[in-house]
Amino acid sequence: MERDTHFILGVYDDEDVLLHAVEKVRGSGVKIHEVYSPYPVHGLEHALGYKRSKLPIAAFLFGMLGTSLALTMQFYMMKFDWPMIIGGKNYAAFPDFVPVSFEMTVLLAAFGMVGVFLITSNLKPWAQPRIFDVRSTDDKHIMAIDLANNTSLKEDKIKSILTSSGATEVNRKSFE
Amino acid sequence: MAHHSEHHYNLEQRFDFSASIKKSILTVLGLGAVLLGIGIVLSITGGHHEEAGAAGGHAFHWYERVYANLWINNVFFTGIAIIGVFFFAIQYAAQAGWSAPLVRVMLSFGNWLPYAAVLMIGTFFVVNHDLFHWTHSYLFDKNDPQYDQIIDGKGAFFYWPMEKGTFPAFYIGRMIIFFGFWVFFFTKFKQFSQQEDLLGGTSHWFKIRSWAAFFLVFFAVSSSVSAWDWVMSIDTHWFSTLFGWYVFASWFVSGLSALTLLVLFLKGRGYLEMVNENHVHDLGKFVFGFSVFWTYLFFSQFLLIYYANIPEESVYFVERLSSDVYGPFIFVNLGLNFFLPFLVLMTRDAKRHGVFLKLVCSLLLVGHWIDFTLMVQPGTLGHNGGIGLVEVGMFLVYGSAVALVVLGGLAKSNLIAKNHPMLEESYHHHI
């Protein structure tokens, strides 16, 4: 079957071994698809060479959008659409608008950030998660290597790199 | 990090308060004194002192401006000093590990407290009628045409148990008790921390934690009441229920900025080598977060008064916003204390690199000093206030005196509490 994807899985017992293994495996020119672990391993994202998330930029932009929408809405309503005198203030009394603008900023920043996170992490409700090895939710760290991304290396070579890096098991897993 | 490398930090380092640093600080002090002198001469010769003050109906004298400035700087620098002790106590009460190499730097601010106590109490007796309206005895005399029923109602808060209008025993008593306990707790903390250097173990850490809990309870009450006494009582008729918090927030941001600047200064001279950008990042977060907290209080106070528009409340902001002298500074205040730290320190990189922090923290110190000027001057000087040579000169003189005392105290013991049980945790601090 043409659309099948094949993975080599390295199973690790210990997080220190895992962290050094990640460095070794990447050093031998193998591209790692992802590492699954039962708990957050400190420094793993650094070892995998992940870049910092751009989520804060999305949060800032959505926040600014919230501020602008809130201010536009309030100025339009209070000054043009339905002017009302409240507490003897001007129609467009800026200090009154600040709490609403603040809340809208927080709301849109939060919703926008969650939305962008769900989309970029492929966490849509109908997404079918790939279970590489159920033990990654218990006591094993699983390093997944996508063969399609490592065509220059032979499968046996990758397996031997994983074994020499300290993997207790090396398995093969295919998804349709 | 997973690397369990051995650490070989020099824990015996002492800050060398060298002659060259002293000379630079004394130069600033001298410059401040000269500016202050010129400012005083200018206000004696060319000032408007012969004009009758519109509000109080009395002639304005040049020395009132000097008095007001003495008071502004007393309150501002007392705040920075006590915030150092407060932040130290917070680290122990919260069982914080990241800040272990910084606790001595925080505590060193407290060295200014005894001087602040003498200056504050001394200044009060010199300036009382010129700054504090409530010190006039005719306000409490029912037969006097200037009798003030509202201030008479508040009289006991200043004069109890004495007769109203005589000696402000309760007010002075509070001042002495607050400074007394602050200095006492500071001395205790210092003593325990230095004993820990000699004896080691965890018992001193636990002792400081217990004392810190008592101090924090005392500080919660005393910081609020001192804000009412030293700042809010200037505008005697007016009151705001969150004023204690407002002054505390201004003090806290100033103290955190001063702490960050001192840490960066020490690091720049090769001390505190275990303090890396992760620790600096945390200090930056505190400065950022509490600048927003200050803004929240500023705006909460302003919005309710503006919206309700009750004359006896709104007079406070009318006096400031509609004044040619103070109006623009309200916006300078918001710009320096909110927009600048909010926009500049928002990103992670800005909080990790000294150059942004140095810029923002220096400007925050100026910004919060302006905030205190705006709290004190309108009620004492009316339209004769402003920010000129007298203000700048006095700020420089006080600032360099505080720097001399604090750095002198810092140089007396090891920079690092070398037996602090959480030093190892702090080495691995990584965010």
DSSP letter (8 states) at residue A61: H
Q: What is the C-alpha separation between B411 and B263, in angstroms, rounded?
A: 14
Q: For residue B78, name the pLDDT band (cuts at 50, 70, 90).
A: very high
In A, residues 63-102, which contact B (CB 8 Å cutoff)? 87-88, 95-96, 98-99
**Lowest mean pLDDT segment, chosen from A85-94, B30-39, B178-187:** A85-94
d(CA B246, CA B337): 13
B165: left (phi over 0), alpha (psi -120 to 50) or beta: left
- The residue-averaged pLDDT of B378-392 equals 92
pLDDT in tens, B126-136: 998 999 999 99
Interchain CB distance below 8 Å, A56 and B302: no
Which candidate from A15, A20, A88 shows the least CB-CB separation from B309?
Answer: A88
Which candidate in B288, B303, B331 is best for mutational testing of the A interface (most A CBs within 10 A)? B303
B428 → chain A, closest CA residue: A42
Q: In whole angstroms, how far apart are CA B215 and each of B19, B115, B219, B324?
A: 36, 20, 6, 42
CB distance B389 to B38 below 8 Å:
yes
Rounded Cα gap, residues B86 and B162, in angstroms: 33
Residues of A in contact with B302 (CB under 8 A): 95
> Average pLDDT over chain A, rounded to whole?
92
Question: Is residue B45 very low, low, confident or very high in pLDDT (cuts 50, 70, 90)?
Answer: confident
pLDDT (0 to 100) of residue B111: 97
Token pair in block for residue B96: 């914080």
Q: Is the pLDDT of residue B227 over 90?
A: yes
The yes-or-no verdict on residue B202 having pLDDT over 90 is yes
Q: Is the ipTM of this complex over 0.85?
A: no
**CB spacing of A42 vs B1 below 8 angstroms:** yes
Q: Which residue has the higher pLDDT, A127 or B196?
A: B196
Task: Show the tokens assigned to B283.
Answer: 């200090």
> Residue A175 — pLDDT band, cuts 50, 70, 90?
confident
Mean pLDDT of B324-339: 95
pLDDT beyond 70 at A1: no
B296 and chain A in contact, CB less than 8 A: no
Query: Burial of B424 by CB count in 10 Å (0-12 exposed, 13-18 middle, 19+ buried)?
Result: exposed
Helix, strand, or coil here: B3? Answer: coil
Mark yes or no for CB contact B307/A19 under 8 Å.
no
Residue B49 has pLDDT above 50, yes or no: no
State the Cα–Cα distance between residues B292 and B343, nearest whole angstrom. 11
Q: Is the pLDDT of residue B304 over 60?
A: yes
Question: Is residue A20 within 8 Å of residue A162, measured between CB atoms?
Answer: no
Quick check: B53 pLDDT over 60? Answer: no
Mean predicted confidence (pLDDT) in B125-148: 93
Confidence (pLDDT) at B1: 42
B19 touches chain A (CB under 8 A): no
How near does any CA of chain B get to the CA of A17, in Å?
A: 10
Q: Which residues contact B128 (CB under 8 A, 6 or more apart)?
A: B135
For residue B324, give every residue at least 6 positions away whose Cβ sits within 8 Å of its Cβ, in sequence order, or none: B383
